[in-house]
């Protein structure tokens, strides 16, 4: 089996994480990295790791004939166009979520990848988390019978800064989108209808951008199950990422991950340390595994674990949640689709 | 301090539990018990316990001049009229939930008790549960700052039989009403708006009575917090009663109660026994405590811990949930109040 | 079935607990209570509960022809003689642990009860604890195969005062004796050899009475299993009572009991409240059950759950531990028996 | 800072793990690997990883002037001589435990390394485990006051095969030695006296080699604390590695590590998956960290985290435990030292 040659577009935090994880894999070669702001520091970073090409021009990476696969880690606005460009250049594509803020564009990007016969994996890394994989496997194996209720708790330890909030696309598209994908993943079903309530309790700055920082989203699934997600931009005790699926024969429930299992008993109380701090710590192994499995799907020519439709569906739910929260009533995904088509 | 003399109306399961708990209290005398179906077996039961009067006539109990306080444990339809009769007779009243299926009638009963200057306690026994008391105390003490999200999981181990379902008033009025009171209790705030989705996944018989067996209810509280309750009529692993309050400074989360703390590790898996079976086991101590505190509120002439307005508010939320589930859109409590007044 | 009429000797804390528990049982009548220091307060206490006889003379209770069963709750020195007197008077006997500090005397008391054909139950209340019962049942049912290792953690929240220490008989006879009985109970086997190390780390006052406050005791069981107990007179986080049995097919491990299941997560740490404070809280239900089952064994004429030999064996282990700790080497129970016989 | 050039002696499982971990470290170069049975497969393995030298001759590695540090991962018999050879060649040394089965030889090897001014780190990898590090840090920081009792549970999932048992040096030198080091590590004190009982309950084959498979070891520490370790060669539920330190102000207790946090509730029971299977899974991160910190101690010229004396002390405790188990009485470390000197 030949090595897979990879180029990365976007050398921010997540781009560098993927690059570092790729460098550890056998039969993978990092060929180049592109970033609009590529500078000497990035050149040094690449040199230390033996990555030959550093460029400011994404096209140099996409059209490099040596490269088999592209990791798109640049800002969201660029995802759709880059997917299409890379797909037409015959490259396999790993793209960070969301594909775009615009359903029609996402649809077009996903279609293009399919038409060009290249693999497209979306960066829903949480599917590769040891806890959530276990839940999904249990549901799929019938360990709890038919799913009835899906419950997801997803709270960040700290809100992002104002600059980030401004361009984030809002809590549903930026943060809850992971939970929407998780809901589909563990339930094994698409979502048909969404009701969302949201409020600003953490920081008034969210209100300035017509965003909320605290939300509860109710879901109706195509398979008849119902679900609920609660989100907060600030859990002071740390990253809170729990999933529960309740079914006809029982339930599967994942608690958080902790840095250690030590319980400390004192005259005052019984305590333990806070959970793993944030996504880099909590999903460290999941990032490694999503990269590895993407490469394997190329090497073995198998389906990717998170495909373009998964990206599209999560975005549809996010759009429905946005609408629902503003309108104060439930929104069906088919209506979001209809609305999106109008704008095409 | 003199003894409180008590009469019980309704000698079903819950009536007998209250009687048994009252018999253990110091400075309480059980004077009589009334039941439409009073028979020899009930007479024997009363004789063994030294309860002098057994009758088929509720009025004999209510108008017995020896009696200070009445426990109303008969069927729901009778609660409202009995409260009014007892209040006018100057008796203190403990009434099982709900006061009635009709908001206007509940309002009238509560008003009558207040006007007559008698104490009225509603049987929301879960407020006296060791876990939920701890959560409420923590919230009140500011242990987690301002409440942002209230989450309640409430699932019965087994669905009731068809006869019960028929007259139950539906999942929201019969089962979730406890959770609605719990939500108000732990959040320290009234509820303003409700959105409910429900479905039939456990047993088709629920559909025959326009009822559901699986539901998720979203709440908006007056204090700005939001909340969610999920209900199922059947959790095969046992009675699932968990509450979580998430706030600006942390969270308080109660797990279920178990018959023992033993963890068994085998070649197959690590396991423990199922939770306490159902409400009689789980809330055994809570039933004792609600009775005891009601008696004390009479002896010390203090406010009861769960008053008529608590009964009314929970019923309003239940009505709103019923409406929301049927209409497929959120319902405000003030609209339920308006609608109820129309039917007066 | 006729009522069992009971007299209690010793109106200290434990005597009153047993009396209170007996008063709640159906078909039991409390006839009298004796205490060397019986006074007006005790008379009032008895009057409130409808106990007809109060006396300073134990013999009045033992030889009261109306009484069927005697609870011996007086100081340890009196246990042996009172058992013999009561047995000869044909009364069934419940005796607090230990029977005596002297093996030969315990043997004689146990033998006398047997010869007189009366029931003798020893107050090892922990056998009736919900957690430890579950472990014993699991071992007996073969849930973990053949027992290999028994581990008991037993630590008091606070050391007793100096007066108590002085007459306690030392940590092994006073405190660890419960653990010795527990070891036999959960392992389903007698102990053959003991090695104990002890030290004074909590309070130097223990050293004044040739006692220790911190100890580890290793056990060899007749069935081939081995075991270890660790004791401390002071666990600042509260009463620590855990038992684990490890066997060929797995392990059974009981954690402590807590006042609630609530987990509190804050910016600082994840905590819960301390365990149930001390034996009165932790073993409340166990005290009720040991009393109830003793009464039932009389009513049904069945064997008691903790018999004289159980009392004797625990004392033999305690003696062996005392000796081992002083000699700095392992001690066999048969040598303790031999030594005891010499003193006869 | 220059790269550290490393050679590995012994290409068995643990040698390859260290090599793999070293290959991932920045500023480390793997120069060569020696193994008595080096063959084509090893050559391929080395080629794939870019390790230039493969040899059957340990001396080629030790005397390779390019190499700065040696990892000794060959069989125990060779450790002592190789340490001395490498030390004299001026190489820093990482040596797997135990240094030797002979105290005098260990002493000599440790002395030689010190005299030659090279670093010597012993492979007690568990000191780098996330749970046990937390306990040690808590003890050191005074989180639980003065240590009173150290408790270690250490049980393997499966016994080794007969060939391994034969040359293992026995349960105390082979398996419990890790726990002896852990006891010193978390207690922050040397051990002065040991009492061990052992028995054959898992597999009679252990008896053939005068070995045991189940043991309890009691320890007296120099700082006044006492401790207990229990060992079994077979815990069917998986690798059981728990540590607890109890002190004047509380306790620190580490539970096992699990592959996920998922709790599964069914009609039958509440369960979770078994703990991480064995040392390769459980201590994966610890192996990486011990390697990394050894390299850093060379780069920064700081003390190693586990030095020669740590190796020596653990072996002394193991010898004392062996003696104690055979003699049936406690053994002091100073007597083991005296005995060892006699054999010099």
Q: How far is CA A340 from CA A83, A172, A196, B87, B139, in A?
A: 20, 17, 19, 61, 44
Indicate the residue of B236, B270, B275 with minimum beta-carbon distance to D237: B270
On the question of pLDDT at C181 being above 70, the answer is yes
CB of C95 within 8 A of CB of C72? yes
Summarize pLDDT for B240-263 with one digit per residue, the tens: 999 999 999 999 999 999 999 999
Contact A236 B226 (CB under 8 A): no
* Cα–Cα distance for residue pair C238/A75, rounded to 1 Å: 54
| pLDDT confidence tier of residue B37, bands split at 50, 70 and 90 | very high
Pair of tokens at residue C89? 């008077």
Summarize pLDDT for D165-196 with one digit per residue, the tens: 998 999 999 999 999 999 999 999 999 999 99
On the question of pLDDT at B93 being above 60, the answer is yes
| pLDDT confidence tier of residue D48, bands split at 50, 70 and 90 | confident
Q: Report, as an integer, the average pLDDT of D23-50.
A: 92
Indicate the residue of C148, C218, C230 with minimum beta-carbon distance to D232: C148
Pair of tokens at residue C41? 């307060």
pLDDT at A339: 87
On the question of pLDDT at C39 being above 70, the answer is yes
User: D147: helix, coil or strand?
Assistant: strand
Residue B267 Cα, gap to closest chain C Cα (Å): 7
* Cα–Cα distance for residue pair C270/A237, rounded to 1 Å: 8
Q: Report, as an integer, the average pLDDT of C113-122.
A: 98
A142: phi then psi, degrees, rounded to nearest 5: 80, 15
**Interface predicted TM-score (ipTM):** 0.95
Closest residue of chain B to A227, computed from CA coordinates = B216
pLDDT at D185: 98
Indicate the residue of A250, A253, A264 with minimum beta-carbon distance to D252: A264
Closest residue of chain C to A272, computed from CA coordinates = C270
Which one, of D74, D55, D73, D51, lies nearest residue D5 by Cα? D51
pLDDT at C342: 46
pLDDT at C1: 54
**A interface residues, C as partner, C-beta within 8 Å:** 235-238, 240, 265-275
Average pLDDT for chain C? 95
pLDDT at A343: 47
User: Within 10 A of B284 (CB to CB), how many other CB atoms are there?
Assistant: 16
Indicate the residue of C216, C224, C246 with minimum beta-carbon distance to D226: C216
Summarize pLDDT for D217-226 with one digit per residue, the tens: 999 999 999 9
Q: Report, as an integer, the average pLDDT of C326-331.
A: 96
* Cα–Cα distance for residue pair B121/B116, rounded to 1 Å: 14
Neighbours of chain D (3+ CB pairs under 8 A): A, B, C
On the question of pLDDT at B124 being above 90, the answer is yes
Q: Report, as an integer, the average pLDDT of C212-218.
A: 98
On the question of pLDDT at B169 being above 70, the answer is yes
Q: How many CB pairs under 8 A join B and D?
A: 45
User: Within 10 A of A143 (CB to CB), how many other CB atoms are there?
Assistant: 18
CB of B129 within 8 A of CB of B316? no
Pair of tokens at residue D306? 């586990």
| pLDDT confidence tier of residue D1, bands split at 50, 70 and 90 | low
Closest residue of chain A to C267, computed from CA coordinates = A237
CB of B144 within 8 A of CB of B245? yes
Q: Pairing relation of β-strands D28-34 and B28-34?
A: unpaired
Indicate the residue of B143, B265, B273 with minimum beta-carbon distance to C250: B265
Q: Report, as an integer, the average pLDDT of B139-157.
A: 98
| pLDDT confidence tier of residue D312, bands split at 50, 70 and 90 | very high
Summarize pLDDT for C77-101 with one digit per residue, the tens: 999 999 999 999 999 999 999 999 9
- Chain C partners within 8 Å of A268 (Cβ): 274
Summarize pLDDT for B190-216 with one digit per residue, the tens: 999 999 999 999 999 999 999 999 999
* Cα–Cα distance for residue pair B66/B64, rounded to 1 Å: 5
On the question of pLDDT at D344 being above 80, the answer is no
**C interface residues, B as partner, C-beta within 8 Å:** 24, 26, 48, 130-131, 133-135, 138, 143-144, 249-257, 259-267, 273
Return the residue in A158, A240, A259, A265 with the most chain C beta carbons within 10 A, the one to mutate for interface testing. Answer: A265
Q: Pairing relation of β-strands A69-72 and A92-95?
A: parallel
Bridge partners (DSSP) of residue D244 are D151, D253
On the question of pLDDT at C343 being above 70, the answer is no
Which one, of C296, C316, C99, C321, lies nearest residue C194 by Cα? C321
Summarize pLDDT for C155-178 with one digit per residue, the tens: 999 999 999 999 899 999 999 999
CB-hemisphere CA count at 13 Å for A301?
3
Return the residue in B21, B264, B288 with the most chain C beta carbons within 10 A, the one to mutate for interface testing. Answer: B264
Neighbours of chain C (3+ CB pairs under 8 A): A, B, D
Residue B176 Cα, gap to closest chain D Cα (Å): 22
Summarize pLDDT for C260-286 with one digit per residue, the tens: 999 999 999 999 999 998 999 999 999
Average pLDDT for chain D? 95
Q: Print pLDDT tens along chain A (344 aa).
A: 579 999 999 999 999 999 999 998 888 999 999 999 999 999 999 998 889 999 999 999 999 999 999 999 999 999 999 999 999 999 999 999 999 999 999 999 999 999 999 999 999 999 999 999 999 999 999 999 999 999 999 999 999 999 999 989 999 999 999 999 999 999 999 999 999 999 999 999 999 999 999 999 999 999 999 999 999 999 999 999 999 999 999 999 999 999 999 999 999 999 999 999 899 999 999 999 999 999 999 999 999 999 999 999 999 999 999 999 999 999 999 999 998 874 43
On the question of pLDDT at C65 being above 80, the answer is yes
Pair of tokens at residue B122? 């509603």
Structural domains for chain D: 4-118 (3.40.50.720), 130-282+312-340 (3.30.360.10)
Q: How many CB pairs under 8 A join A and D?
A: 85
Pair of tokens at residue C14? 């434990």
Q: Report, as an integer, the average pLDDT of B219-224.
A: 98
* Cα–Cα distance for residue pair B44/B57, rounded to 1 Å: 18
Q: b/e for A89-117, b at 16 or more Cβ within 10 A?
A: bebbbbbbbbbbbbbbbbbbbbebbeebe
Pair of tokens at residue A344? 């095409």
| pLDDT confidence tier of residue C304, bands split at 50, 70 and 90 | very high
**A interface residues, D as partner, C-beta within 8 Å:** 24, 26, 48, 130-131, 133-135, 138, 143-144, 249-257, 259-267, 273
């Amino acid at each position: 089996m030949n090595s897979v040659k990879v180029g990365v577009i976007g050398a921010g935090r997540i781009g560098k994480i993927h690059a570092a994880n790729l460098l550890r894999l056998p039969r993978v070669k990092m060929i180049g990295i592109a970033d609009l702001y590529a500078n000497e520091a990035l050149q040094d970073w690449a040199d230390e790791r033996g990555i030959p090409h550093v460029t400011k021009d994404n096209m140099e990476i996409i059209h490099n004939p040596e490269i088999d696969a592209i990791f798109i880690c640049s800002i969201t606005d660029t995802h759709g166009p880059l997917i299409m460009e890379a797909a037409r250049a015959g490259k396999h594509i790993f793209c960070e979520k969301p594909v775009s803020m615009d359903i029609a564009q996402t649809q077009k990007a996903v279609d293009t990848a399919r038409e060009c016969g290249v693999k497209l994996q979306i960066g829903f890394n949480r599917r590769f988390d040891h806890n959530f994989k276990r839940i999904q496997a249990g549901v799929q194996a019938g360990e709890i019978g038919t799913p009835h209720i899906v419950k997801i708790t997803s709270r960040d330890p700290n809100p992002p800064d104002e600059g980030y909030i401004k361009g984030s696309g809002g809590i549903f598209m930026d943060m809850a989108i992971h939970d929407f994908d998780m809901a589909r993943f563990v339930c094994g079903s698409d979502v048909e209808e969404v009701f969302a309530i949201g409020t600003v309790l953490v920081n008034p700055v969210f209100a300035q951008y017509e965003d909320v920082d605290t939300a509860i989203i109710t879901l109706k699934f195509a398979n008849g199950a119902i679900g609920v997600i609660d989100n907060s931009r600030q859990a002071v005790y740390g990253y809170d990422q729990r999933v529960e699926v309740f079914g006809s024969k029982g339930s599967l429930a994942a608690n958080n991950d902790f840095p250690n299992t030590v319980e400390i008993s004192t005259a005052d109380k019984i305590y333990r340390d806070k959970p793993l701090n944030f996504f880099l710590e909590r999903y460290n192994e999941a990032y490694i595994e999503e990269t590895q499995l993407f490469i394997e799907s190329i090497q073995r020519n198998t389906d990717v674990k998170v495909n373009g439709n998964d990206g599209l569906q999560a975005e549809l739910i996010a759009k429905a949640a946005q609408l629902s929260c503003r309108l104060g009533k439930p929104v069906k995904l088919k209506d979001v689709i209809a609305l999106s088509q109008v704008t095409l």
